[in-house]
Amino acid sequence: MLKISKLAMAAALVLGATAALAGEVEVLHYWTSGGEAKSVAELKKIMQAKGHVWKDFAVAGGGGDNAATVLKSRVVSGNPPAAAQIKGPAIQEWAGEGVLANLDATAKAEKWDSLLPKMVADGMKYKGSYVAVPVNVHRVNFMWANPEVLKKAGVAAMPKTYDEFFAAADKIKKAGLVALAHGGQNWQDFTTFEDVVLGVGGAKFYNDALVKLDPKALNSDTMKKSFETFRKLKGYTDAASSGRDWNLATAMVMKGEAGFQFMGDWAKGEFLAAGKVPGKDFLCAAAPGTSGAYTFNVDSFAMFKLKSADAQKAQADLSAAIMGTGFQEVFNLNKGSIPVRLNMDLAKFDDCAKLSSKDFVDTAKSGGLQPSAAHGMAVRPAAEGAIKDVVSQFWNDDKVSVPDAMKKLVSAAATQ
């Protein structure tokens, strides 16, 4: 009889055990631009190193509306992925459907409650149990610029107010370049609009208007001034901006075709992926009027109930990996965001990230820390979608007057 060596037997046992514990994780996300894809590839590497199979379910479309549509059809057909990029109040809605897995065992073993700001941890729970894992903290109210373009146009410094911004934009236009790189998609219009509301009205007004959806704030003179400022910005974008993807707008700044872009710091991921150096090839600053405020956007993965033990084990490993220090560092270095896990060493992070991290802490104390309405952090998805449409219609159609837009905003905010 063929004598199997002890070593071969041991190897077979280990392989067998590993194979039994190895599972497949299908992950739905919308990170398909250069910087985004590089970032999510790090999670794939970690899971493959653990012996799991990574099934990449990427749905292109910045801001995630396309991904949300595809996810709904998968869940309705009873075939959800292991994990999906879901964040903010939408987590509560999905959990309310009874389709999300309970992650408390992993959360307890990994001590998540002690590793997260309470506000973030609470957002990941449904009725006190974890159902999602946070990935990062993005700052939405960032402005990006090409220093060469500013120099060519005679703009001495990054504008801190809208008066300074429009003066700089006029100089860039006069120099024959695009002052404001913009992608004409509804979520990008909304991103710019929330920057304007924050810059014109301040954090308390932003909270009253776009978080509390207070009709008095939505109907106020400050909102009127916000819409007027928002429309004035349109005149500094280029005619080809309609439908442009956000990362192509970032590329316009990168290539020196445009001076500024208002975009969350995932735009930094594009500059870094192209080998650009912050402070030298591109500049970052708070959007005009918002240096004392911080609109946060915490990406997260909600975990869906799965049938097989192997898949559940792989899902638990995925959850633990996302909150691990290794992933928190390498992912956020590529993504342009900062780690959501507390007490991480930011030595490898650049000055834009260090500014974001400092401001995150300072604004949490000052009241300047606000959930991003445009990125699913502030209001229920139905109201967010309705407001996004009103804002985009105003941006696209000069025939929509400011009073009309304000009236539409009030009714959109009431959408259940």
- The answer to whether residue 63 forms part of the interface with ligand GAL (CB under 6 A) is yes
Contact 349, 338 (CB under 8 A): yes
Q: How is residue 97 written in tokens?
A: 């459907």
Based on CB atoms, which residue is closest to ligand GAL, 169 or 330? 330
Number of residues that bind ligand GAL (CB under 6 A): 12
Contact 308, 23 (CB under 8 A): yes
- The answer to whether residue 134 forms part of the interface with ligand GAL (CB under 6 A) is no
Helices (H) and strands (E) in the chain, counts: 19, 14
Residue with tokens 């802490």: 361
Based on CB atoms, which residue is closest to ligand GAL, 229 or 337? 337
Based on CB atoms, which residue is closest to ligand GAL, 266 or 301? 266
Query: What mask of x and - would describe binding to ligand GAL in positions 74 to 113, judged by CB under 6 A?
Result: ----------------------------------------
Q: How is residue 416 written in tokens?
A: 């259940």
Distance between CA atoms of residues 59 and 43, nearest Å: 17
Residue from 27, 31, 71, 146 binding ligand GAL (CB under 6 A): 31
Torsion, Cα of 231, 232, 237, 238 (10° steps)? 90
- The answer to whether residue 144 forms part of the interface with ligand GAL (CB under 6 A) is no
- The answer to whether residue 266 forms part of the interface with ligand GAL (CB under 6 A) is yes
Of the candidate spans 60-68, 284-292, 319-327, 381-389, the one that interacts with ligand GAL by CB under 6 A turns out to be 60-68
Beta strands in 156-212 (DSSP E): 178-180
- The answer to whether residue 297 forms part of the interface with ligand GAL (CB under 6 A) is yes
Residue from 62, 134, 159, 385 binding ligand GAL (CB under 6 A): 62
Q: Which residues contact 196 (CB under 8 A, 6 or more apart)?
A: 162, 226, 229, 230, 233
Q: Which residues contact 403 (CB under 8 A, 6 or more apart)?
A: 224
Smallest gap, in angstroms, from Cβ of residue 112 to ligand GAL?
20
Which residues form the interface with ligand GAL (CB under 6 A)? Answer: 30-31, 36, 62-64, 138, 246, 266, 297, 299, 375
